Amino acid sequence: MAAHMPSSGPLKAPRALPTLGHFLRGRDVRLKTAALWLIGLVMLGLPACSKPGPALPPQVASGRQIFMANCASCHNANPSLDGTVGPAIAGSPRALVEARVLRQSYPPGYHPKRTTHLMRKLPWLAPKIDDLTAFLAYYKAQPQK
Ligand code: HEC
């Protein structure tokens, strides 16, 4: 194998291909400027790509967390859609959320979407009813999210 290796000194880049060194020493200033602009634009663009979008209002973000942990398993991670057992509930008014979550009931005169009685009450969520309602209202307004 060694017999086939070139014996004359270290490997050199072929003349026709400009090396990084050539580029940085720069004969073509316009090319260099364009390249720097391009690098700059890419660096500006990267953080924008990694962000999921504008932050949710704090109450909506809190409600979302509670919903994902306590409700999404039966309803749906997207509350505008029916879930495995529960119906779509985006836009549910506070009185309905409170009656369901705290008392396993419905507000007077409300016509339930389902005639089943599968949902259990989750009374420890009493301090979070407002956050849940805010989250459900937010998704009603922006169903695509
Ligand atoms: C064990 C599954 C389950 C869990 C967990 C659950 N739900 Fe339900 N939910 C249901 C089902 C099923 C219904 C339909 C009525 C019934 O069978 O109880 C329902 C109905 C509702 C309704 C009334 C829909 C309508 O307009 O008739 C609301 C509002 C609601 N759930 C909110 C919630 C919220 C908020 C949570 C979380 C804090 C939650 N649910 C957790 C299964 C569940």
The model's pLDDT over 2-21, given as tens digits with 9 standing for 90+, comes to 455 555 556 665 566 666 66
pLDDT of residue 145: 47
The Cα–Cα gap between 127 and 125 comes to 6
pTM above 0.95, yes or no: no
Does 39 share its domain with 64?
Answer: no
Does 40 share its domain with 98?
Answer: no
Q: Please check whether residue 105 lies inside any domain of the structure.
A: yes
The Cα–Cα gap between 35 and 83 comes to 51
Does 47 share its domain with 62?
Answer: no
For residue 27, pLDDT over 80 is answered with no
Q: Please check whether residue 9 lies inside any domain of the structure.
A: no
Does 32 share its domain with 91?
Answer: no
Entry field: residues in the chain: 145
The Cα–Cα gap between 138 and 9 comes to 70
Q: Please check whether residue 123 lies inside any domain of the structure.
A: yes
Does 122 share its domain with 79?
Answer: yes
The model's pLDDT over 76-92, given as tens digits with 9 standing for 90+, comes to 999 999 999 999 999 99
The conformation of residue 77, written as its DSSP 8-state character, comes to: S
Angle of helix 129-141 versus helix 94-103 axis, rounded to 10: 130
The model's pLDDT over 91-134, given as tens digits with 9 standing for 90+, comes to 999 999 999 999 999 999 999 999 999 999 999 999 999 999 99
Count of domains for the chain: 2
Residue 41 to residues 4, 34, 35, 51, 133, Cα–Cα distance (Å): 46, 11, 10, 17, 41
Confidence class of residue 22 from pLDDT cuts 50, 70 and 90? low
122's CB contacts (< 8 A; 6+ apart) are 70, 101, 102
| Ligand 1 lined by 133 (C-beta under 6 Å) | no
Helix (H, G, I), strand (E, B) or coil at 56: coil
% the chain with pLDDT above 90:
57
Does 86 share its domain with 65?
Answer: yes
Q: Could you tell me the distance, in angstroms and rounded to a whole number, from the CA of residue 129 to the centre of ligand 1?
A: 13
Q: Could you tell me the distance, in angstroms and rounded to a whole number, from the CA of residue 54 to the centre of ligand 1?
A: 29
Q: Which range of residues forms the domain containing residue 21? A: 17-51
The Cα–Cα gap between 130 and 138 comes to 12
pLDDT of residue 43: 58
